[in-house]
Amino acid sequence: MTLTTEELAKYLDHTNLKPDATEEDIINTCKEAVKYNTASVCVNSHWIPLVTEQLKGSTVNPITVVGFPLGETNTATKVFEAKTSIDEGAEEVDMVLNIGELIGNNIDFVTKDIKEVAEAVHEKGKLLKVILETSYLNDDQIVAGCEASEKAGADYVKTSTGFSSAGAQLDDVALMRKTVGDRLGVKASGGIHSREEALAMIDAGASRLGVSATVKILSD
């Protein structure tokens, strides 16, 4: 696939989820996103009010993560976190599903967990992405996670938090795209460090990329 830098930028969620990120770091992340006109800035929920203010007047969206990075917080907590972040300016929410329950094949619980967050997010007119954390999953579990996310009403499925043993893999992205077809978006996240890697993920089926190496990717 051939994309201009401007076109590629709109695939990117410029991400800063570092636990030691300071206010200055987050402001710099926002400045980089505005400079390159990325799709969004993705941050932990604490920073959403600051990011919303920094991005005002731009086409870059503030987005946040929920149940991050383990997915093991209870559903009510995920719902509260999502609603609060949206009230503070988030346009999209990336939630981590309950990984252990997915591996344990408790699909009813996984679906219900996602559904309650999806309903809260959609009630406010925003988008929900569901993080599977594919590094822990086999192919059957990836398919099951995608199917549960679709049944629950999610808008995207996403590979990874970037905090596990591995990030996005081309085969996983392709499998996710095959499973959801054109009905959901697919976000590849974690370990994407170059323009070549970014384009390969898009070729495999990704419609959004979560990256912290945005400046390098768009400068390559």
Over residues 154-190, the pLDDT tens digits come to: 999 999 999 999 999 999 999 999 999 999 999 999 9
**Domain containing residue 46: CATH number:** 3.20.20.70
Catalytic-role residue among 94, 113, 155, 172: 94
Catalytic residue among 83, 126, 129, 158: 158
Query: Which one of the listed residues 78, 83, 126, 187 is annotated catalytic?
Result: 187
pLDDT computed for residue 38 by the predictor? 98
Q: What domain range includes position 184?
A: 5-219
Report the residue count for the chain: 220
Using one digit for the tens of pLDDT, what is the confidence trace for 187-219?
A: 999 999 999 999 999 999 999 999 999 999 999
pLDDT of residue 2: 87
- Give the model's pLDDT for residue 220: 80
Q: Residue 66: its pLDDT value, please? A: 98
Contact 48, 88 (CB under 8 A): yes
The two beta strands, 61-66 and 208-211, are: unpaired
Catalytic-residue membership of 94:
yes
Domain count of the chain? 1
User: 20 an active-site residue?
Assistant: no
Q: Which of 172, 176, 168, 161 is nearest to 197 (CA)?
A: 168
Hey, which bits of the chain come out as E strands? 12-16, 40-43, 61-66, 92-96, 127-131, 156-158, 185-189, 208-211
Is 18 annotated in the active site? no
**What's the predicted TM-score (pTM) here?**
0.97
The token pair at 41 is 């800035």
DSSP 193: -
